[in-house]
Amino acid sequence: MYPLKNRHSFAIDVFAKQLTEIRSLADLALIKWSNDTYILGEGTNTIFTENFEGQLLLNRITGIEIQETREGWHVFAAAGENWHQLVVSLIEQGIYGSENLALIPGSVGAAPVQNIGAYGVEVARFIDRVDVYDCKLHVETSLSHEECQFSYRDSLFKKPDHRHWLITGVHFFFPKAWQPVLDYPDLATLPTDTTAKEILAHVIQVRQRKLPDPQRVPNAGSFFKNSVVSSAKCQQLRQKFPQLPYYEQPDGSCKLAAGWLIDQAGLKSYVVGGAGVHSQQALVLVNRDHASGQDVLQLAEGIQAQVKQRYGIQLEAEVRLLNGTGLINP
C-alpha cells in the first residue's frame, strides 16, 4: 500500500493499493488501463476519503518550450510542471496575461481540466490546444481550444467518458497586446497603469492573506463552485438579502459568491469531527485535526443542506472527491 497523505493537499491519512509515476511519454505505453484507474496531478483539488483500491497514475511529465512571434508567445508546458512556478517564470520573462492566476495550487495538466480561474481571468483564455494520451487505446492526440469545451470550472476532460485521457501538455498563446484585468473587487483599487509584475505581487499577497496555506492548514482550495443562477432568481434573492454580492454574466445569468452564502448562513464555525469551515474564508474547508473522509463528506453535505434551506440554492462541489474505487458526488 502507498501512503497518500502527502499526495493530496487535504492530507487525509489514507493509502493506495497501486501507484505508478509517469515521467516521460515513453512510460505511457506501459499503462494498463482499468475502470478503477485514476489520474492524479499534485492532488490540490482532490480529496481521497478512504483507501483507494484502484490504480493511481501520477502525472510527472515535465518540460517547457517558448517560441516568440511578432504577435505574441507560443508557450508549451508539460502537464507535470507546477502551475504557479510557470506563471512566475512567464511574468519574469515579460510574457504577460497569467498574472491573475498566480498562486493557484496544482499542476499545468490540471489547469485545463478544471478551467482554473481567479480575479476575472480563466486559463481557457490563453489555451490554444491540449495534448492528450488515450490510456485505453494508446493513441496520442491534440485537441483544439473549441474541442476542449471550456466553461465555468469545467471542460471536456471532466466528462466521465474521457477520464482515461491523460493530458501530457498544454499549448498556450500570450499576445503582446496585453491589457491588465482589474475589474475584480480585490484588484479594483489598483491604478489602470499597474504592471503585470505588480498585479502578480498583489494577487499573491491577497491570496496569502485570505486563503490558508495547504502546507500549514491542509485544504483543497475552494470546496464549492460559485453558483450561477438566472437573473430573476438573483433579483428574488437580493430582495430578501440586499447585501448579496453578484456578478452579471454575458448570457444574462448571475454568478453568486458561494463563500458569502456559507458565511451569511452562520457556518464559519461549522465543524464535523476533524474537518471544518475555515475561519477566514468560508469557501474553504480544512483538515483541522486528523479529519476522516466521512468527516469531510458530512461537513459538505451539512453545508449544502443549510444553504439550500436558506437560499434555495444547491451548492456543487468544485473539488474532486474519491472513495475506494473512484469519483463520488457528496
Q: Give the count of beta carbons closer than 10 Å to the beta carbon of residue 150.
A: 19
Record the cell numbers describing residue 179, joined without a space.
491589457
Q: How far apart are CA 330 and CA 198, in angstroms?
A: 39
Amino acid letter at 168? T
From 129, 153, 288, 320, active-site residue? 153
| Residue 292 near residue 12, CB atoms below 8 Å | yes
Per the listing, cell 452579471 goes with 248
Q: Give the count of beta carbons closer than 10 Å to the beta carbon of residue 250.
A: 5
From 81, 99, 122, 318, active-site residue? 318
Q: How far apart are CA 277 and CA 230, in angstroms?
A: 28
> Smallest Cα–Cα separation from 14: which of 293, 206, 299, 308?
293
> Smallest Cα–Cα separation from 55: which of 38, 43, 71, 78?
38
Q: 3-state DSSP call for residue 204?
A: helix
From 155, 222, 227, 292, active-site residue? 222
- Is position 222 annotated as part of the catalytic site? yes
- Is position 153 annotated as part of the catalytic site? yes
| Residue 45 near residue 146, CB atoms below 8 Å | no
- Is position 107 annotated as part of the catalytic site? no
User: What DSSP string describes 211-279?
Assistant: S--TTTS-EEEE-BPPEEE-HHHHHHHHHH-TT--EEE-TTS-EEE-HHHHHHHTT-TT-EETTEEE-S
Beta bridge partners of 155: none
**Residues in Cβ contact with 29 at an 8 Å cutoff, skipping those fewer than 6 apart:** 138
**Residues in Cβ contact with 4 at an 8 Å cutoff, skipping those fewer than 6 apart:** 12, 14, 15, 16, 43, 48, 52, 56
Catalytic residues: 153, 222, 318
